[in-house]
Amino acid sequence: MKKAMRVLFFIAATTFFISCSSSKTATNLTPTARDLAGKWTISDIAVNVPSGFQVTNVFDEAPYADFKGSTWDLIRNGNGSFTLGNGTKENIYWSIYGKGDNAQFQFKKLNGQKARNVEEGYRLALGPISSNSFIAKSAINTGTDSTGSITYTFTRQ
């Protein structure tokens, strides 16, 4: 009888501690490749630049407006692609640079080359990340004393 009571007490205590323990929520995740892997759509773009300054192309590809609605396929092994609304597709190699609040989403356009042979790429500061969305912010050199930015909101498909 004592043994049965100990087992029941142990099960109850374990259940209590498991239910009360903190767990990582689905919002405000620590940026990892695992969290960003998947299919995404840029659902919103916010531009913050000094008045009179115009952003022509982003990522040496197209005007920023062309990226709204673009789809991004981020494979966990670092390979991936993005496709603009007009059908233009670019293969990329992506990763996360840094940790915590300083984490950045970085990618290289491959243009038919291997990732190790591509020296130039792009880095965007990562903002809040959840299981269904994340924010990536690109700094813009405006040529003045101030800087601008473009903020992309990615939504999981």
Residue 8 included in any domain: no
Residue 46 belongs to domain spanning = 28-156
Q: Is 21 domain-assigned?
A: no
pLDDT of 101 reads 86
Does residue 116 form part of some domain? yes
φ, ψ for residue 142, nearest 5 deg: -95, -5
In a domain, 19, yes or no: no
Q: Hey, what amino acid is at 157?
A: Q
CATH of the domain at 91: 2.40.128
Q: Which of 115, 104, 106 is nearest to 59 (CA)?
A: 106
Give the count of beta carbons closer than 10 Å to the beta carbon of residue 51: 4
pLDDT in tens, 101-137: 899 999 999 999 999 999 999 999 999 999 999 999 9
Domain contains 13 = no
Pairwise CA distance, residues 21 & 30, whole Å: 18
Question: For residue 116, what pLDDT is reported?
Answer: 96
Could you tell me if 117 and 109 are in contact, meaning their C-beta atoms sit under 8 angstroms apart? no
Q: Considering its fold, how many domains does the chain have in total? A: 1
Stated length of the chain = 157
CB 52 within 8 A of CB 143: no
Which H/E stretch holds residue 72? strand 71-74
Each residue's pLDDT tens digit, 78-107: 999 999 999 999 999 999 999 888 999 999
> Does 11 fall in a domain?
no
Q: What is the pLDDT of residue 1?
A: 52
With residue 16 as reference, give the H or E element that holds it: helix 2-20
Tokens of 114: 């291997």
> Residue 22 falls within a domain, yes or no?
no
Q: Could you tell me the pTM of the whole model?
A: 0.80
Interval 4-61: pLDDT, tens = 444 334 444 333 333 343 333 345 667 889 999 999 999 999 999 998 899 999 999 9
